[in-house]
Amino acid sequence: MNEQDILKDAERHCTKTGARLTPLRRRVLELVVRADAPVKAYDLLSQIDRSNTSAKPPTVYRALDFLINAGLVHRVEALNAFVACPQAGHGHAAVLYICEVCTKVTEVQGARPGQEHKPEGFCVTRSVIEHYGQCMNCR
Amino acid sequence: MNEQDILKDAERHCTKTGARLTPLRRRVLELVVRADAPVKAYDLLSQIDRSNTSAKPPTVYRALDFLINAGLVHRVEALNAFVACPQAGHGHAAVLYICEVCTKVTEVQGARPGQEHKPEGFCVTRSVIEHYGQCMNCR
DNA sequence: TTTGTTTTGTTATGTTATCACATCCGCACA
DNA sequence: TGTGCGGATGTGATAACATAACAAAACAAA
Ligand SMILES: [Zn+2]
Ligand SMILES: [Zn+2]
Ligand SMILES: [Zn+2]
Ligand SMILES: [Zn+2]
């Protein structure tokens, strides 16, 4: 799936759900999609700055919050970075395979936990698996 | 497993592997174990400070690095926090179930991915799953 | 046009983490 | 005993990541 298709898809998804993909948010999404690798908030910020001198940290963090909530972007927790989601608004939890050499990220989704499809030939050296919710006592 | 047992186990594990559990590192481990919940680096720092005025950020981050490498502590990526491992030096990847209400963390390990044993009654609302390694092209 | 809501701008600050270099301490070896 | 070595810790500075609080602007509905 190429950049343009992802952006088109995002547009459609927002139209359908009523989310407002403003020019600023769209600009940030474009930057994340084009990065084609996990991208840092302050890198986005400096890229936005080229067109909009007034961009400050809250500018980019708010846009990212919106995009994450809209299901268009995922946060990579262990890298403090962000990647575009190839499947706008999918319901499943994202499972990310991140190559530490070329930085490429492959996102897969499993019908149920444990049934994700590991990318062909990917060799895992470290996994981060954290489930958040309510324990039995706190329900 | 109680605090004292975990600390004893850590001691044994370090003796066996040749890792040097110095007083400072032991002190940090004690604080993490006693927290009984994910604990922040700067919270550890301020606790150390009570006994050692000279503690600075690198003091605690270096101790944490050691403890993580020794398999005695895990980093909770999505919280920027740290928890004690109940099974010193286990080989398996840790799977953490984190209650967002009471902050209690339950660590489980699966013989193979997807076979982790979810704690009784735990209701997952959000999962962070990130696998790091080398992709097919980079091996 | 008025009014209320959402988005963006702006300043400041809070939080998390590392770098670089100095010093100390335990240990092996002369 | 002294001397050198390497790992651990002390120290000051700064980098990197993120949010609070309030003001202004844009937008949509009435
Ligand atoms: Zn996704
Ligand atoms: Zn690769
Ligand atoms: Zn563990
Ligand atoms: Zn709970």
Bases of chain D with protein Cβ within 7 A: 7-14, 16-21
| Interchain contact A101–B (C-beta under 8 A) | yes
Question: SS3 for A113?
Answer: coil
The answer to whether the Cβ–Cβ distance between B136 and A113 falls below 8 Å is no
The set of long-range contacts for B15-18, using a CB threshold of 8 Å and a minimum separation of 24, is: B17/B70, B17/B89
Position A112 pLDDT exceeds 70: no
Q: For chain A, say whether B80 makes contact (Cβ under 8 Å).
A: no
Question: Order of strands, edge to edge, in the sheet holding B95-99?
Answer: A105-108, A95-99, B123-134, A123-134, B95-99, B105-108
Question: From the CB of residue B96, how many other CB atoms can be counted at a distance below 10 Å?
Answer: 22
pLDDT bucket at B137, cuts 50 / 70 / 90: very high
Beta pairing partners, B106: B97
Distance, CA of A84 to CA of A43 (rounded, Å): 15
**What 8-state DSSP symbol labels residue B58?**
H
Asked if B98 has any chain A CB less than 8 Å from its own CB, the reply is yes
Distance CA A6, CA A31 (A): 12
State the average pLDDT over residues B50-59: 87
Question: Which chain A residue has the Cα nearest residue B110?
Answer: A114
CATH tag for B3-84 (out of 3.40.50.970, 3.40.50.620, 1.10.10.10, 1.10.287.1080): 1.10.10.10
Stated in angstroms, how far is A69 CA from D22 C1'?
A: 25
Taking the Cβ of residue A119 and every Cβ of chain B, the question of whether any pair is shorter than 8 Å is answered with yes
pTM: 0.95
pLDDT tens-digit map of A60-97: 999 999 999 999 999 999 999 999 999 988 877 899 99
For the segment A110-117, the average pLDDT, to the nearest whole number, is 65
CA distance A9 to chain B (A): 24
> Higher confidence at residue B1 or residue B16?
B16
Cα–Cα distance measured from residue B114 to residue B127, given in angstroms and rounded to the nearest whole number = 13
B111 dihedral zone (left: phi>0; alpha: psi -120 to 50; beta): alpha
Domain residue spans of chain A: 3-84, 94-133
pLDDT at B74: 97
Nearest residue to A64 (alpha-carbon basis) of A50, A80, A87: A80
| From A86-90, A110-114, B27-31, B92-96, the region with the lowest mean pLDDT | A110-114
Cβ–Cβ pairs < 8 A, chains A and B: 154
Residues of A in contact with B115 (CB under 8 A): 114
What residues of B are in contact with residue A121 (Cβ under 8 Å)?
135-136, 139
d(CA B116, CA A68): 28
As a dihedral over the C-alpha atoms of residue B102, residue B103, residue B106, residue B107, rounded to 10 degrees, the angle is 180
Q: How far apart are CA A38 and CA A74, in angstroms?
A: 9
